[in-house]
Chains A and B, each alone.
Chain A
Amino acid sequence: NAGVTQTPKFRVLKTGQSMTLLCAQDMNHEYMYWYRQDPGMGLRLIHYSVGEGTTAKGEVPDGYNVSRLKKQNFLLGLESAAPSQTSVYFCASSYSVGDGGRETQYFGPGTRLLVL
């Protein structure tokens, strides 16, 4: 199993350009997440999905859109990139066990995005 993979690994954008980050998981997990991590800081949740066709906002959703058309894929879109979106983006997936209180998230290797 590849686990969680992210495409691309690195990207440079100009302000105003758009792009889509792809996350794929082969563990048949129901839940998927997009986080961003700025230098010297912890991860912050952008959007998440509890199943195919459903998405919800996290802590910092502004400027991003997401889609979960297939269970194994979770796409993060930037419609008009801004320098403030320069960050490392991590995708994660998980399944919930029984009571919902126990959940392990598995993370991808990250996408480094630089917006000039």
Chain B
Amino acid sequence: DAKTTQPTSMDCAEGRAANLPCNHSTISGNEYVYWYRQIHSQGPQYIIHGLKNNETNEMASLIITEDRKSSTLILPHATLRDTAVYYCIVWSGSARQLTFGSGTQLTVLP
């Protein structure tokens, strides 16, 4: 599965949109982009995933560039409870495991 690159940390003001970038320049055509988050050593929580099209659910939106080499997770109205480590993962299913990198520590500030 393709490797991903994320910023180590980001801050966001409460109530504002949090935009978390992810680079995956070696992604192949059958690989999906998944986002998970981990709040303070709890078990990781699924957020959203996508293949080519932009996706939206009750938690977030996922914007994937046309060439699929990067994506952005958008939390539209960040709250203090969104403070967590966010992991961007590229996964094809050929390897069973999800490869968790270091992720981005998002801190939502009051």
Hey, which bits of chain A sit against chain B, CB under 8 A? 4, 31, 33, 41-45, 48, 50, 56, 58-59, 88, 90, 92, 96, 99-110
Contact = CB atoms under 8 A, between A and B. Distances in A.
A48 B96 contact: yes
A42 B31 contact: no
A58 B43 CA distance: 19
B52 to A, nearest CB: 12
Interface string B46-58: 1001010000000
Contacts of A41: 102
Given A42-B87, A42-B102, A45-B97, A106 B46 contact: yes
Category for how many chain B residues contact A: 20 to 34
Nearest to B46: A104
Contacts of B96: 31, 33, 45, 48, 50, 56, 58
Most buried by B among A100, A105, A106: A105
Q: Say what secondary structure dominates the interface of chain B.
A: loop
Interface of B: 30-32, 34, 41-46, 49, 51, 87, 91-93, 96-103
A42 B41 contact: no
B44 A90 contact: yes
22 contacts: A4-B43, A31-B96, A41-B102, A42-B100, A43-B44, A45-B97, A45-B98, A56-B96, A59-B97, A90-B43, A100-B93, A101-B31, A101-B32, A101-B93, A103-B91, A103-B93, A104-B46, A104-B49, A105-B44, A107-B43, A107-B45, A110-B41
